[in-house]
Structure 1
Amino acid sequence: MRNEKENTNFQELAEQYEAINRMLENRLQEEIVKNKEKDLILIQQAKMAAMGEMIAGIGSQWRQPVNSLLMLIQDIRAALEYGEINGQYVDRFTRESVIQLENMSRTFSDFRKFYKPNLEKKLFSVSEAIEDALSIFSICLKNHGIQVDFMYRGQQMAYGYPNDFSQIVLSLLMNARDSFVEKDIKNRKIIIKICESDKYITAEFKDNAGGIEPFLLAKVFDPYFTSRRQGTGLGLYMSKTMLENMNGYISIENNGEGVSVSISVPKVTSAVRPELNPI
């Protein structure tokens, strides 16, 4: 009789234990979903902030072709007065106008490509993803006297979200630009180089913008933390989250003259290829 009662008590305890485990598991899953939703919102906020910067960049890149088109149009009146409008003149006007319009269209296409959402992981060239960000931001870098030295332009293939990777690169370039301007650094320079390990491709961004206070380094990936007057505190947090979604990682350290930021993404290895090319 005693054994039967003990067995009953043990079974009740086991059932209670299982019920508590199920409850805790459900709560854990709910928190995971909430955290993912929070990360998506923060990433979107960071992208919207960067989008304003990019719209300004488009305006800068369109200024030259718009001025060229304006000069071509103004020349028509003078050409008409001097009787210079003929087939050859029309051909030249058409050809030069099309060139300028194509430049404007290419800038806008680059912008749309840059912000097109990544739905699935895929193969991408790390160097090309960096070049995409540089092409978007090149005018701004030039306007602030920042020299970029991209030391290696190989075709190292990674597996992840190429647009997100370019977004991360853009965020790092913006951070460096802001540091140069706020600290009034002379001879501004960013060095970018790519290296490989067995599992990862790493892009390192090294600047001479003065660095970060050592006691702040542990906080730079926290959301809404910033050491800059006009910073949002989302750039590095967004970069970290995006890289983790690609099974990658980011690190930052002072290099003496500035900071070195390394972003690593998985290489295309034998572990990935079966997933991409199922038999």
Structure 2
Amino acid sequence: MELASGLNRYVIHTSVHQPLDDKMPGFSLGPFGQYFGRQETWSGAGAKSWVDYLSRSSYLLQQGQNVADILYLYGENDNVTLISTESLPDIPKGHEFDFTSATILKEAISAENGTLEAKSGVTYELLQLDEGTQRMTLSTLQKVKELADAGVRIKGAKPLDSPSLTDDSEAFASLADEIWAKPNVGEDISLDVAKDVDVTGTEHKILFRHRKKGDDHIYWLNNRSVDATTANVSFRVQGKKPQKWNPQTGEISDVSYSIRDGRTSLDLSFDSWDAFFILFIEEAETESFAVPRDGQTNNCYH
């Protein structure tokens, strides 16, 4: 779930020194975290396998830049922890998002031809407003107008007022009315781009992350169920040959695929709580490919 939420670097907060051999599983930091020391029951081969899995996953999820279609603005009196206590924001299925604060929106986000762009070069197709933005400072509202004037699609309810006592309430109301009169702004605005990942043929929730490095695409998929399942997964990628990368073992294997209408479709099998990568790195030599019955493993990564 942490990887699905965008985390891509683990840090061991503390590994308490274990000087005694007769106290198992050793000393801990009380209720803070879990044991991570030499006396832990899984500290042998189990720990290495776990750390290797996290290392491989983190390495791939650090490549290039995150791909998300939606930039999600939370309120100036809120924080990410508060609005995500029970669940993540309601985002159209098949798309991903990045959070932004009002400060970052004003200082690091620009727009051209209807597309949002961060200073990092990451682009977004839609600005979505959290319900906490119903109270918004005038300077933030002015930034929203700048983006709206540039043709950015903005989804959300019209702000009601400003939390700042120094803002002009009449100017705020007039500006909000002007912005929300635009055809590209409102509560019913939708994305005008195809799904990044489209999962069909299963009732299981399949979470994903997408990284892009140059022309290469890295997708991470996760079956959020104890039960195994199969699914057809369609990616917003064409012209590239997909391969499956297993972060548990380091194996890279070919997968059957078909490319059609600007998308690449795969029939994939997911084990219990399974998580693996689908990489698009090599150029596709054919529009479709079927793996031989005995399978095919190319090499390993470490």
Same fold (TM over 0.5): no
As a proportion of its length, which structure holds more helix?
1
Return the TM-score normalized by structure 2: 0.30
Q: Could you state the TM-score of these two structures normalised by the residue count of structure 1? A: 0.32
Higher Cα Rg: structure 1 or 2? 1
Pick the structure with more strand per residue.
2
Greater RCO (CA < 8 Å, at least 6 residues apart) = 1
